[in-house]
């Protein structure tokens, strides 16, 4: 009687008991069919372990690069939104205290960074409204954005 496939796998993995190992070994010495089946099982096992190691040892850089680029784009997108928000709030304050035409005069460079617009707004309001009021306006612009602004870039 031929041993089962499970028994052959256990024999190949040296997991069969001593009685079973002796029985299967005796059978394999006599049966070419079971010897070929065992060779096939071991070949499949080797193939499987090779595929697994191949997956594990594949160049991780593309995946890591993809992950890092995704994180960077998420972060950039978030900081871009933060900059837009700061600019929008600064423009609102300029419009409130000076007027709409003053926005372009204070902004100087429309595509400039939000820090520049915030600094210019503070400078103008500091001179025209006084330091205390200018600080309050600056706080108003940054109100609720402090946590996001302090995130490491």
Which residues in this chain contact other proteins in the complex, by CB under 8 A?
Answer: 94-102, 105-106, 124-134, 136-137, 140
Q: At what angle do helices 5-12 and 32-56 cross, to 10 degrees?
A: 60
Closer to other proteins at the Cβ: 16 or 103? 103
What the block records as the tokens of 3 is 């041993």
Supply the minimum distance, in Å, between the C-beta of residue 84 and other proteins: 22
Closer to other proteins at the Cβ: 38 or 137? 137
In what helix (H) or strand (E) does residue 109 lie, and over which residues does it extend? none
Supply the minimum distance, in Å, between the C-beta of residue 63 and other proteins: 48
CB 142 within 8 A of CB 85: no
At residue 147, the 3 state secondary structure works out as helix
Supply the minimum distance, in Å, between the C-beta of residue 96 and other proteins: 6
Supply the minimum distance, in Å, between the C-beta of residue 134 and other proteins: 7
Closer to other proteins at the Cβ: 16 or 94? 94
Residue of 80, 99, 90 whose CA lies nearest to 139: 90
Sign of torsion over alpha carbons 82, 91, 109, 130: negative
Closer to other proteins at the Cβ: 16 or 120? 120
């Amino acid at each position: 009687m031929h041993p089962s496939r499970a028994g052959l796998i256990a024999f190949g993995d040296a997991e069969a008991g001593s009685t079973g190992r002796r029985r299967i070994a005796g059978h394999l010495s006599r049966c070419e069919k079971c010897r070929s089946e065992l060779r096939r099982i071991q070949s499949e096992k080797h193939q499987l372990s090779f595929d697994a190691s191949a997956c594990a040892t594949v160049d991780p850089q593309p995946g890591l690069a993809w992950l890092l680029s995704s994180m960077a784009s998420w972060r950039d997108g978030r900081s871009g939104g933060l900059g837009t928000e700061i600019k929008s709030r600064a423009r609102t304050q300029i419009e409130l205290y000076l007027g709409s035409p003053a926005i372009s005069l204070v902004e100087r460079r429309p595509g400039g960074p939000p820090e520049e617009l915030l600094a210019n707004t503070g400078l103008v309001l500091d001179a025209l409204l006084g330091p205390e009021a200018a600080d309050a306006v600056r706080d108003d612009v940054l109100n609720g954005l402090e946590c996001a602004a302090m995130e490491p870039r």
